Amino acid sequence: MPVDLARRRRGPPDPRGVTPAERALADAHRAEWALVVAATARLTRDLDLAEECVQDAYLSALEAWERDGVPAKPGAWLTTTARRKALDALRRDRTLRTKLHLLLEPEDDEPVAADEIPDDRLRLVFTCCHPVLAQEAQVALTLRLVCGVATPDIAKALLVSEPTMAARLTRAKKRVAAAAVRYEVPSAAALPDRLDSVLTVVHLLFTTGHTAPSGAELVRADLVERSIDLARMLRALMPDEPEVAGLLALLLVTDARRATRASESGLTLLADQDRARWDRAAIDEGDELIVWALRRGSPGRFTLQAAIAALHATAPSAEETDWPQIRTLYDALLKVWPTPVVALNRAVATDRVAGPEAALAEVEPLSEQLSGYRYLHAVKADLLRRLHRVDEARASYEAALALTDNETERDFLRARLGELG
């Protein structure tokens, strides 16, 4: 590369002191991480080795790109480098030397063809969400390998210590290896069970970011955006699956309110949010996906949740929200997904339709099942407060506060307690 071209490509740092190479590497981590891990894992058939080689490739990239300039195709550069490192590691391992000829990949340094990348990503997603793993392990492994989230951040998101999370990830990878999980998209017969697990994990990633379990910020934007990216990827790869469309719609419509959920003064309830600031493009896209999914009949849990979210998002005002229709949708959701959390959300709709007394009658039977769920106590406290049962409301707010680690939510609950006097 001519020196002047290399210098232009390297360029000066921006006003924040970030060089073009650092910026390109951050962009590549966001956009290419899953692709590079997937392509490398397809070669190694070993998730630990694949991740190690990809991490080494990203470390090598910063030095090389600072020296030589950012390549035209950063993803291809990273894939080629990671696969080279993987082949070198396999050659060094004497126990695998005799097996090199069994690898399905040719021993070349060419990046994976563009038309193969989507299948590779989908293989990685389904590998992370294999039924041999418990759901918590599926979430952790997906965050690590598909989203590229650092182990300490995963530990914080899932409220465990860093050593515990590191051990959990190691066990998950060993479990995948011991069970000889094939690195592939499952057969059509096995797809429904596996797909539900994949969609569940993506949804959990989103909810972990939508309201961060702990910390000062209400939202973990990185997790929200990665889960939406993952849902878009699944939608592109599985365009005929209504529940994939329903999940993407749910994430888009729910996240459309992000800018209005908190302010300098704290948490802003849905009824008080500035609807003019909601992301109308995301709401419209979600609405189209919901209509498409509903027309396929027998809507599943993600499509029904998306339809509920859309009724909130498209109402001109809080007062004009169609709460009877929302409650009807919760009835349908309870039939396909009969969980106490869904029943709690239906009780919130009952409050808007029939008042706090009727809602409290629905909440009380859930108290034992959801005793460790902070939103059960918060909902109950609000109903009791409006029924002027002050002492009981105070006890419920305190129970919610004891279960809440997110500082924005804690401030809101403290304010509610203060209002009780």
pLDDT digits (tens, 9 = 90+) for 210-248: 998 878 889 988 889 888 988 998 898 789 999 999 999
Query: Do residues 347 and 358 touch, judged by C-beta distance below 8 A?
Result: no
> Phi then psi for 262, rounded to 5 degrees?
-150, 150
The Cα 326–Cα 311 span in angstroms is 7
The Cα 266–Cα 280 span in angstroms is 24
Which residues of the chain, if any, have pLDDT below 50? Answer: 1-10, 12, 15, 96, 99-117
The Cα 131–Cα 302 span in angstroms is 20
Q: Model-level pTM?
A: 0.76
Q: What is the DSSP string of 217-258?
A: -S--HHHHHHHHHHHHHHHHH-TT-HHHHHHHHHHHHHHTTG
Q: Which residues contact 139 (CB under 8 A, 6 or more apart)?
A: 158, 201, 204, 205, 208
Gyration radius of the chain's alpha carbons = 24
pLDDT of the residue at 413: 96
CB-CB neighbours of 13 under 10 Å: 13
Instruction: Indicate the length of the chain as a whole number.
Output: 421
The Cα 272–Cα 93 span in angstroms is 61
Two tokens, residue 158: 């899932």
The Cα 181–Cα 193 span in angstroms is 16
Two tokens, residue 32: 């290419």
The Cα 262–Cα 257 span in angstroms is 10
Residue bearing tokens 């009724």? 311
pLDDT of the residue at 44: 84
CB-CB neighbours of 277 under 10 Å: 12
The Cα 170–Cα 177 span in angstroms is 11
Q: What is the largest CA-CA distance in the chain?
A: 77
CA 228, 232, 237: angle at the middle one, nearest 5?
150
